[in-house]
Structure 1
């Protein structure tokens, strides 16, 4: 009898402990469903093209998100699961995270952000300059690109290699990267907001922007406001001093993304530029952050981008002039600078790559 009473007490105690946990879990799943619904609402309100939200792929993903909200046992599990689902999503630039600061403060933060020395490096191999740009983010990245071109001019550099293989994008550092290479004012593309697709079914072309004033500035806060308020935002590059007129080789990989892609595309239209490596990521949209309930935050795309050269980059990427594994792109460019024939250096590099795989 005594053993039975002890067992009964243990069961009762365990049952009492489990009840709050079950209640808390139910409350969490209700909260996560609220988050999922809020994301859907924001997507409908701000996504650049409502038609893409009617696709089977997007609707199926929405269903998976709702199911994830029902089954996640922690907020972090939901965040991780959501981002994993979106790695195979129908478009890029969607990411869920815990809120570190309110969304309306993030633009100010980005506008003043300094990312450090690792953003840009410049080195020389005889009369060839290797300019590595690892991000387009940061006020100091822009400054370092300006400074790099000044040094390139002072050293009377013959040839320039621009390495964008590890550049996942950012903000405006691509502007001076292009500006010091163009001889004439050049329209490179346009950002396309929901206001365009609400009234048009055709993809925009240069004819649609030729009478618009080009967007000017260095503020992501201003850019986000303007790109949402206007159907089309014209992107035009103005020549910058000092101008570099020698041959340029741009190295790319499948990690070259976002702002690094419109930079690659802009450079690719110049006769003196050769793109070497892999097709870029195909993730060329403009995103903005929005606050969600329960201290979460979502970034989602508010504008698409169309190049005046190749059209839409999202989902396609920018193709290189010479396709080679990104790990061999630098070596191949240096061989070409030395005067080796393309077919000879390609054969040599391919043989090295094959030997590595063995």
Structure 2
């Protein structure tokens, strides 16, 4: 959510309306947000000037309502927003406002829950102080800070939490215990090689799964986790997660739309 995001969104919305698109999908997964003004500029595209787009509450003061600044808006018959645990801040404001006021359905998992507004000041010595000065709320007054937005349709997806891209400096073997082994086991399981665990202990079953991966990818088949194994595994993971067929949330949404 940067300085030009709203302009880019509006260009897309214009082309959608010209093509008579009836269903709009916003993918805000893994979107950590950005400028609050960018979120409000985007919401201006969907709300009219008599509608609240968010509320803000500073310490020791009543909540203040903020309205859309224009009357021009885009309407779609159906609206969906893909969200996950990394959907935060300005992206949560956008998703929450569209969900509560425009009936957009959230598909995915509960969002991060960052409902605070921050600013910064430059001090006399040139250092910068960044601080939280208020909490924002979605239009109906709900504060999502620490709670997140609850999806209308909950769909779990492949989680990449715990997967490490750090170099494997020493080859890891059976009976080793290491966080890199834990990462390897998770990747093997995601890619369909059935390691027996994901706790970081290098078992014989983990070795067998690694050997199958090595054989399938023209690596040295020794069942020992090396830097070459890790690099290939990361590459295969990137291909996997960028394939829509492996995106459970996207796949579910496409079934709804069709």
Same fold (TM over 0.5): yes
Do the aligned partners of residues 176 and 188 (structure 1) sit closer, same or farther apart at CA in structure 2, a change above 3 Å counting?
A: closer
Q: Which has the higher helix share?
A: 1
Contact 2:55 2:141 in 1 (8 A): no
Q: Which residue of 2 aligns with 1:148?
A: 12
Do the aligned partners of residues 272 and 189 (structure 1) sit closer, same or farther apart at CA in structure 2, a change above 3 Å counting?
A: closer
Q: Pick from 86, 100, 111 the counterpart of residue 255 of structure 1.
A: 86
Do the aligned partners of residues 264 and 244 (structure 1) sit closer, same or farther apart at CA in structure 2, a change above 3 Å counting?
A: same
1:240 positional shift: 4.8
Q: Pick from 286, 291, 306 the counterpart of residue 117 of structure 2.
A: 286
Q: Which residue of 1 aligns with 2:201?
A: none
- CA distance, structure 1, for counterparts of residue 17 and residue 140 of structure 2: 29
Do the aligned partners of residues 191 and 184 (structure 1) sit closer, same or farther apart at CA in structure 2, a change above 3 Å counting?
A: closer
Structure 2 gap segments, 5+ residues each:
158-246
1:289 positional shift: 1.3
Deviations along 1:105-156, whole A, 9 cap, x unmatched? xxxxxxxxxxxxxxxxxxxxxxxxxxxxxxx222x21210121111111111
- CA distance, structure 2, for counterparts of residue 294 and residue 184 of structure 1: 43
Do the aligned partners of residues 242 and 270 (structure 1) sit closer, same or farther apart at CA in structure 2, a change above 3 Å counting?
A: closer
Q: Which residue of 2 aligns with 1:66?
A: none
Deviations along 1:70-115, whole A, 9 cap, x unmatched? xxxxxxxxxxxxxxxxxxxxxxxxxxxxxxxxxxxxxxxxxxxxxx
1:106-145 → structure 2 map (5 Å cutoff): 136-138=1-3, 140-145=4-9
Secondary structure of the 1:269 match is helix
Structure 1 gap segments, 5+ residues each:
1-135, 197-203, 205-231, 339-358
Q: Which residue of 1 aligns with 2:142?
A: 311
Secondary structure of the 1:283 match is coil
Q: Which residue of 2 aligns with 1:163?
A: 27
Q: Which residue of 2 aligns with 1:84?
A: none
Secondary structure of the 2:248 match is helix
Q: Which residue of 1 aligns with 2:55?
A: 190
Q: Pick from 29, 40, 43 the counterpart of residue 175 of structure 1.
A: 40
Q: Which residue of 1 aligns with 2:97?
A: 266
1:1-358 → structure 2 map (5 Å cutoff): 136-138=1-3, 140-171=4-35, 172-182=37-47, 185-196=50-61, 204=62, 232-237=63-68, 240-241=71-72, 243-270=74-101, 272-291=103-122, 295-309=126-140, 311-326=142-157, 327-338=247-258
- CA distance, structure 2, for counterparts of residue 188 and residue 142 of structure 1: 15
TM-score of the pair, normalised by structure 1: 0.43
- CA distance, structure 1, for counterparts of residue 248 and residue 66 of structure 2: 32
Secondary structure of the 1:267 match is helix
Q: How many residues get paired? A: 168
Q: Select the structure with the greater relative contact order (CA < 8 A; seq sep ≥ 6).
A: 1
